[in-house]
Amino acid sequence: MEFQEAVMRVVVQKPTNQRVNWDKHEKPKWKVSLHRSSSKHERRQKLDDEDENPKEFLCPISGSLINDPVIVSSGHTFERACVQACQTLAFAPLLPDGITPDFSNVIPNLALKSAILSWCHKCSIDPPKPLDFFTAEKIVRAYMASHAQNSPDSGSVRGDDSISISEKDLIQRVEEKPSVKFIHSSSDITPRPTHTHSSSDESIETTMSTPPLQFAARPSCFSSSSSDNEALNPYPNPEEEELITKMKSPHVFEVEEAVMSLRKITRTREDGRITLCTSRLLSALRSLIISRYTNIQVNSVACLVNLSLETVNKVKIVRSGIIPPLIDVLKAGSPEAQEHACGAIFSLALDDDNKTAIGVLGALPPLLHLLRSDSERTRHDSALALYHLSLVHSNRTKLIKLGSVQVLLAMARSVQMANRILLTLCNLASCVDGRAAMLDSGAVECLVGKLREGEMSESTRESCLAALFGLSHGGLRFKGLAQVAGAEEVLERVEKTGNERVKEKARSILETMKAKSEEEEEEQVDWEMLLLDSGSVGGSGHRLGVGNTESRANSSEF
């Protein structure tokens, strides 16, 4: 009892002093709460420290997170504004890996942009802000100055002591290297416009069309907005101005009248196709390609086909960002609009500089789908577009991954589409992955069967033999499949009846089939040695090792 009374006195008297201490030092309990939150903060800080500034997300020039990543021709990824500043200053930095990047062409890296935004969201970091051209130019100049001090030969800028390049030097570089394409994007200064179609964010940079004389005021390779274009070109084409005004009109009948007028001009006048293919008109046309009014959509795509007939317009059209809405038309446009869209893709794919970009932007899957269209013209144009796009290795790889080989072989059996489809199969047979996919899909049997039928034009027969010749580089596997399909007999008959080119291709395939490869000879020696070591009878060893060498080699490969 005495102990309990003592405890009670402590309990009753102690709180008064403790309350005083709590009032003086304030909230001792908050320390526990702060300790817990700081633990959470430490975990997040640790996560941020681990993932802070991943090397893949940083621009090699600015050293900060990339807002608008683009892939240059050399395969490196930079901030778009930094690339444009380097082009304006004619500067190519020497990267840590010892490679000088090539800024002649750029393609948006949408996958990296999405990854950067996802990483920022995951780590609760604000996404990188857009970098305007003038800020990027200052960054590049600072980069040039710092690297010039460390290593005078680290950059490809010409000049002794000065960092900036004179206008005369810029003009001289344009004359010496006309293949270099000075490009710009209006998204660097003004916000990127929002479109309703699904591929709007995949637009490629537009090309500035002002003459080199504008270097005196501002480098023509840079343009911040359409208002700057008008300032640099004080005498716009009245015909173009009238068409653009009507195309942007809120009244449907005026828009329809404008695109019909543009279609007529570009169909009949060659000079009109060149003078009217400007960035402003292409921008107005781009929004009409996805119009919900069928007549406007059809005429807009038809105008694009006419403009693409001129060689000088092809790259400009692709860089205006018009391919994504065209792909939307291929996927969900009206039949007539799809027909014109296939023709536009085919026409633009004739330029080698456009092939990779068209494939990257996703034109291959809808083109494959349209091979089965009800419209004959759509089928033919899509097949020709696939042929020209498949001349690039990256597009061949995409087609193989899409499972196009089986689709193309099925289409090759038809009489009307065979010639155009076989051209694409020839391109696929020229690469290792394409040969493997075609051999797996029964291409040898299909091609030999077509040659056996004999009812085809000389061009189709030649394409068929060209595809077989590409497959003949498949080694023992091709020989076995060709033997099963009876190719030797068919090729010998074609060699006797065809023209000179057909005979030459058939003869080359036959020589490849009859020639003994090093692999076959090694296999023969290995089998003979094995039989001798095992103590087999000499007669049986000769019968197994020599008499049936070809058939045994082929069967073992299978």
What is the tens place of the pLDDT at every residue in 227-271?
A: 334 444 555 688 889 999 999 999 999 999 999 999 999 999 988
Q: How far is CA 104 from CA 86, 107, 143, 211, 214, in A?
A: 11, 11, 20, 18, 21
524 vs 544: CA distance, rounded Å:
10
- Residue 512: the pLDDT is 83
Please name the fold of domain 249-402.
Leucine-rich Repeat Variant (1.25.10)
511 vs 18: CA distance, rounded Å:
103
Which of 39-48, 422-431, 548-557 comes out lowest in average pLDDT? 548-557
- Residue 183: the pLDDT is 39
Band the pLDDT of 516: cuts 50, 70, 90.
low
As a whole number, the mean pLDDT across the chain is 74
Instruction: Give the pairing type, strands 183-184 and 106-108.
Output: unpaired
Is residue 295's pLDDT more than 50? yes
What is the tens place of the pLDDT at every residue in 269-294?
A: 988 899 999 999 999 999 999 999 99
> Domain spans of the chain?
55-145, 249-402, 403-522
- Of 82, 88, 182, 92, the C-alpha closest to 132 is 82
The residues facing 474 across adjacent strands are none
What burial letters (b/e) apply to 250-280, b meaning 16+ CB within 10 Å?
eeeeebbbbbbbbbebbeeeeebbeebbbbb
- Of 525, 521, 510, 522, the C-alpha closest to 478 is 510
Its pTM stands at 0.56
Is residue 478's pLDDT more than 70? yes
Burial of residue 152 (CB within 10 Å: 0-12, 13-18, 19+) is exposed
Q: Which residues contact 425 (CB under 8 A, 6 or more apart)?
A: 405, 408, 409, 412, 438, 443, 467
Is residue 203's pLDDT more than 70? no
Which of 188-202, 352-366, 464-478 comes out lowest in average pLDDT? 188-202
396 vs 390: CA distance, rounded Å:
5
The residues facing 78 across adjacent strands are 70
Which of 16-25, 101-110, 196-205, 278-287 comes out lowest in average pLDDT? 196-205
Q: Which residues contact 347 (CB under 8 A, 6 or more apart)?
A: 305, 308, 309, 314
77 vs 103: CA distance, rounded Å:
10
Neighbours of 556 (CB within 10 A): 11
102: left (phi over 0), alpha (psi -120 to 50) or beta: beta
Q: What is the 3-state secondary structure (H, E, C) of 306-354?
A: HHCCCHHHHHHHHHCCCHHHHHHHHHHCCHHHHHHHHHHHHHHCCCHHH
Same fold, 249-402 and 403-522: yes
485 vs 482: CA distance, rounded Å:
5
User: In the chain, pLDDT over 70 holds for what percent of residues?
Assistant: 67
- Residue 242: the pLDDT is 92
Band the pLDDT of 149: cuts 50, 70, 90.
low
203 vs 69: CA distance, rounded Å:
13
- Residue 91: the pLDDT is 87
Band the pLDDT of 71: cuts 50, 70, 90.
confident
Quickly list DSSP for 472-540: GGGTHHHHHHHHHHTHHHHHHHHHHHS-HHHHHHHHHHHHHHHSPPHHHHHHHHHHHHHHHHTT--HHH
Q: What CATH number is given for 403-522 in this structure?
A: 1.25.10.10
382 vs 343: CA distance, rounded Å:
7
- Residue 260: the pLDDT is 95
- Residue 426: the pLDDT is 93
171 vs 177: CA distance, rounded Å:
10
Identify whether the C-beta of residue 407 lies closer than 8 Å to the C-beta of residue 367.
no
Domain range 55-145, its CATH number among 1.10.10.10, 3.40.50.1820, 3.30.40.10, 3.40.50.620 = 3.30.40.10
First-residue to last-residue Cα distance in the chain: 99
- Residue 483: the pLDDT is 87
- Residue 350: the pLDDT is 95
- Residue 461: the pLDDT is 87
Average pLDDT value for residue range 74-94: 86
472 vs 444: CA distance, rounded Å:
9
- Residue 4: the pLDDT is 52
- Residue 235: the pLDDT is 58
For residue 270, what are its two tokens? 């060659």
Identify whether the C-beta of residue 155 lies closer than 8 Å to the C-beta of residue 165.
no
Which of 141-155, 322-336, 353-367 comes out lowest in average pLDDT? 141-155
- Of 467, 373, 471, the C-alpha closest to 416 is 373
